[in-house]
A = this chain, B = another copy of it.
Amino acid sequence: MVTKDFVSAQEVAEKAGVSRSAVSRAFTPGASVSAETRRRVMDAAEALGYHVNHLARGLMTNESGIVCLIVSELGTPFRSSLIQALTQQLQNCGKIAMLVNTDRSDGSVDRALRQAIHYRADASIILSGLPDKSITQLCLKNGQRLVLINRDDDQPGPLRINLDDQEAAGRILTAFLRAGCRQLAFANSEAGTPSLMARERGFVAAAAALGMEVAVERHGSTGYEAGKVVAQRLLTRKERPDAIFCANDLLACGVMDAARHQFKMSVPDQLCVAGFDDVEQASWSSYDLTTFAQPVAMVAREAVAFLAAPAGTVDAGEVRTLKLHAELVWRGSIRGG
């Protein structure tokens, strides 16, 4: 069987007895076509199984409709829920998501952005890593919009959506103190992601302002296993902590499991724990974790609104930052409340 090519507008035009431009106009909202012509075109298209070639259309209009999502460790709960929200929002705006995986290696994000350029993506959303300045400049010069989510960067042009991590870290401290905790600790990974580090700094700084010390431990990548290791280190210290703020929920789950099963400690009676992100697992009753909810839906909405804004609305050169508030979700891993 010969794999016949896709149906083209030409064939539809012939079947409908009109010119090829009529077909094009029939599929362009707001174009000048009579109702009668449009109907005949649509009928012919339906019969032939015609679908507008978005590649060719993008070639003409300079708008591919593609938005590139650049992300690492997609399997992670928080990341995947964000991706889910973003793709959904993009589809609502008639755009489509292209997914590029990155790893921690050098230049990985740059390569990803190059893919975005290859496919003439209208925009890119970066959820992991930080691209080289020269690459982002290239993207911007070519009219690509850029959104950085929870990234530290101060170049003008891209939209930055950040959480107020530091402020949140300060709030959790008062919650710990109100619960009567005296020995503070912070559990982190070695990833060094800007948001993770901001949470650490915010917590340590807020404690220092009250003249308190924080035991900080970092280990491995930002996941459950690392949480277990960190907890083991923290809970065997001479001064055993009675409150651990974790850089994210997965670490917190690991910390809680180590504390309970390995050290036979009771949470929250002997140890208070808090996390960050409010992933689904935080609400599971085995953890019932007090944590900060990232406004995922709002992040997605704002990001896509920026990307889909008509040309001229946004001008490069402007430094645009959106600082969002993380809401404290109070559950049972801290006493009182």
**Number of contacting residues on A, CB 8 A?**
64
CA distance A200 to B285 in the complex (A): 26
A328 within 8 A of B: no
> How many copies of the chain does the oligomer comprise?
2
Q: Using A98-B98, A99-B97, A143-B3 as known contacts, say yes or no to A284 and B64 having CB atoms under 8 A apart.
A: no
The reply to whether B75 and A81 form a contact with Cβ atoms under 8 Å apart is yes
Assuming the contacts A257-B286, A281-B281, asked whether A55 and B119 have C-beta atoms less than 8 A apart, the reply is yes
A71: shortest Cβ distance to chain B, in Å? 9
Main secondary structure of the interface of A (DSSP, over half): mixed
Whether, in the assembled complex, A36 has its beta carbon less than 8 Å from a beta carbon of chain B, the answer is no
B75 pairs with A77, CB closer than 8 A:
yes
A69 at the interface (CB under 8 A from B): yes
B91, B98, B311: the one contacting A96 at CB < 8 Å is B98
Is A1 a contact partner of B317 (Cβ separation < 8 A)?
A: yes
Residue of B nearest to A62 (CB): B5
| Per-residue interface assignment for chain A, residues 244 to 262, with 1 indicating a CB less than 8 Å from any chain B CB and 0 otherwise | 0000000001101100110
Most buried by B among A77, A84, A114: A84
In the assembled complex, which residues on chain B have CB atoms less than 8 Å from the CB atom of A317?
1
Query: Which residue in B79, B83, B280, B284 is a CB contact (below 8 Å) of A257?
Result: B284
Type the 1/0 row for A1-22, where 1 means its CB is closer than 8 Å to any CB of B: 1011110000000000000000
* The 3 nearest A-B residue pairs measured at CB: A80-B80, A3-B143, A286-B286
Residues of A within 8 A of B (CB): 1, 3-6, 49, 51-56, 58-59, 62, 64, 66, 69, 73-77, 79-81, 83-84, 87-88, 91, 96-101, 114-115, 117-120, 138, 141-143, 224, 253-254, 256-257, 260-261, 280-281, 284-287, 311, 315-317
